[in-house]
Structure 1
Amino acid sequence: MQCKTIPRSLCTRSALITYSRRLWALVVLLLALPASALDLTGMTNSHDPATIMKDGDTYFHFTTGNGIWYSRSTDLVNWGNPSTVFGDSWPNWINDAVPGFEGHFWAPGAIQMGDYYYLYYSASTFGSSRSAIGVVRTQSLKNPNWEDLGMVVQSYGGNDEINAIDAALFRDHDGKVYMSYGSWFSGLGVAEVNQSTGKLAGSVTHIFGGGHQSIEAPYITRNGDYYYLFFTRGKCCEGLDSTYRVQVARSTSVFGPYTEERNLIPNQDGKRVGPGHIGIIKQDGCNYTSMHYYDGNDNGAAKLDIQRMTFSGGWPTVTHHFSDISSCGGVSEGLYQFQSQHSGKSLEIANADTANGGNVVQYDFNGGLHQKWYVIDQGTGQYSLINAGSLKSMDVWEGSTEAGANIAQWDYWGSAGQKWLINRVGGNVEVESFLSGMVLDVYGVSSSNGANIVQWNSTGGANQRWSMIRQY
Structure 2
Amino acid sequence: MMLLKLILLLVAFVSTAISYGNPGACSNACNVHDPAVIRRDSDGTYFRFSTGNKIQIATSSSLSGPWTIKGSALSMGSKINLAGNQDLWAPDVTKVGDNYYLYYSVSTFGSQESAIGVATSKTMDPGTWTDYGRTGVVSHAGSAYNAIDGNVVLAGDGSYYMSFGSFWGDIYNVPMNNPPLTASGSSTRIAYNSTGSHAIEGSFIWYRSPYYYLFFSAGTCCGYDSNRPAPGMEYRINVCRSTSVNREYVDKNGVSCTAKGGSTVLASHDNVYGPGGQGVFLDNVSGGEVLYYHYVDTTIGYGDGQKRFGWNLINWSTGWPVV
TM-score of the superposition, structure 1-length normalised? 0.56
Q: Secondary structure at the match of 1:228?
A: strand
Alignment of structure 1 residues 153-192 onto 2, 5 Å? 153-158=137-142, 160-192=143-175
What's 2:246 paired with?
255
Shift of 1:144: 4.6
Q: 1:305 aligns with which of 307, 310, 316?
A: 310
What's 2:10 paired with?
none
1:222–1:102 Cα change, 3 Å: closer
Q: Which has the higher strand share?
A: 1
* CA-based RMSD: 2.0
Shift of 1:81: 3.2
Alignment of structure 1 residues 7-156 onto 2, 5 Å? 38-55=24-41, 56-78=43-65, 79-87=67-75, 89-92=76-79, 94-95=80-81, 98=82, 100-101=83-84, 103-142=86-125, 144-152=127-135, 153-156=137-140
What residue ranges of structure 1 are gaps of 5+ in the alignment? 1-34, 319-472
Alignment of structure 1 residues 28-427 onto 2, 5 Å? 38-55=24-41, 56-78=43-65, 79-87=67-75, 89-92=76-79, 94-95=80-81, 98=82, 100-101=83-84, 103-142=86-125, 144-152=127-135, 153-158=137-142, 160-196=143-179, 198-209=181-192, 211=194, 213-239=198-224, 241=228, 243-260=234-251, 261-266=262-267, 268-284=268-284, 286-300=288-302, 301-318=306-323
Moved >3 Å (runs of 4+)? none
CA contact (8 A) 1:67 1:105 kept: yes
Distance 1:151 1:168 in 2: 14
Q: Which amino acid aligns with 1:229?
A: L
Q: Which has the larger radius of gyration?
A: 1
Q: Which amino acid aligns with 2:320?
A: W
Shift of 1:134: 0.4
CA contact (8 A) 1:278 1:289 kept: yes
CA contact (8 A) 1:109 1:121 kept: yes
1:294–1:198 Cα change, 3 Å: same
Shift of 1:257: 1.3
Shift of 1:62: 0.4
CA contact (8 A) 2:214 2:249 kept: yes
Shift of 1:201: 2.8
CA contact (8 A) 1:279 1:291 kept: yes
Residue deviations 1:225-260 (CA, integer Å, cap 9, x gap): 221111111111123636101111111211121112
Shift of 1:311: 1.2
CA contact (8 A) 2:149 2:203 kept: yes
Q: Secondary structure at the match of 1:254?
A: coil
Shift of 1:53: 4.0
Bigger relative CO (Cα 8 Å, ≥ 6 apart)? 2
What residue ranges of structure 2 are gaps of 5+ in the alignment? 1-20, 252-261
Q: Which amino acid aligns with 2:77?
A: W
CA contact (8 A) 1:185 1:210 kept: no
Distance 1:200 1:298 in 2: 41
CA contact (8 A) 2:70 2:126 kept: no
Shift of 1:197: 5.2
1:298–1:139 Cα change, 3 Å: same
Shift of 1:86: 1.9
Q: Secondary structure at the match of 1:41?
A: coil
TM-score of the superposition, structure 2-length normalised? 0.80
Shift of 1:90: 2.0
